[in-house]
Structure formats: structure tokens, C-alpha cells
Amino acid sequence: MIWTRQVPDEWKKELNGHEFSENTLSLTGSLNEILSQVKAPDFCQNYPEFMLEDVAQIAALVAAFAVSDRLTFHLGYEPDQAQITKPAKLKALCCYGESTAGWSSGSRYSGDVLSLLEPFGVAFIPFWNNDRAQIGPPSKSKNIFLTLSAL
């Protein structure tokens, strides 16, 4: 399922004017543990407020849709390729930026990008037995990728 969204112009302006840290945040834990880390003051200074709120809402959706409180969370310049390929009840991918992200998955996986995700869209990717997935190469521009898995 792909959730395409029309985001406010302020999001795009704030994203373009923001200087991001090179640090990547990778966490595994309960939804509450992850949300407390995302809301921590030392982490908050690295990202725009709208992004932190959006990331928290997407994490809550993934936990609710998967009926699971155990999540793996990754936020950084590169999507977490290893996380996308590991078994999970549900995976989610979002690209904050102006380029698209793409992925291939399913039993007929051939390595070609089959699905494209618009900027700020969210892909909810279910996991089936023998499912394989791969995220296409990130663009040359600096985008922030959110990769979530419900375990």
C-alpha cells in the first residue's frame, strides 16, 4: 500500500533550508522506546520539527497495522537495505526530499525497480514467506530516508 500525500509547502522549504547532521539513527525497541529517543533534545536539534512529528506518526501507524510493539527504526541519508531484506510483519519506507525511492519485492523479484515512491509518500510493504525486497539506489541529492520494520 502506498500513501501518497500532498505535504505543506512549508515542509519542502524547511527541508531545503535545513543543515542535517551526518549521523544516522538506528534503533530497535518498543514503540515507546523509539519515540522517546526521537523526542530526545540531542536528537531533535538535528531534524525539523515537522519531520520528527511525521516520523513518530508513521512509527505509530506501523506498530498499529502490524499489531506489534517491536520496531526497527532507521533514519539517515541512505535507506537501510539490510532492514528491508529481513523478515518482518510490516515494513515502511519514506523519502523526505525531492527525489523518488524505488523498490522491488515479491516472488517474481528480478532486481529491477518495480515500484516508485513519490517524495514524502509512505510505502507500507507487507512481508510474505520467501519475499525478497531491495531498495533502488538513492539519488545523488541528499535526502533523508525513514526505514521502519515491525518485528
At 105 the three-state DSSP class reads strand
Evaluate whether 68 touches 151 at the Cβ level (below 8 Å): yes
pTM of the model: 0.83
Evaluate whether 11 touches 60 at the Cβ level (below 8 Å): no
Grid coordinates in use for 119? 517524495
DSSP H or E stretch at residue 52: helix 49-66
Evaluate whether 105 touches 128 at the Cβ level (below 8 Å): no
CA angle 122, 97, 5 (to 5 degrees): 35
Mean pLDDT by 10 residues, the chain (151 residues): 79 79 84 91 83 93 94 83 77 78 58 67 73 57 83 90
- Check residue 87 and give its pLDDT: 79
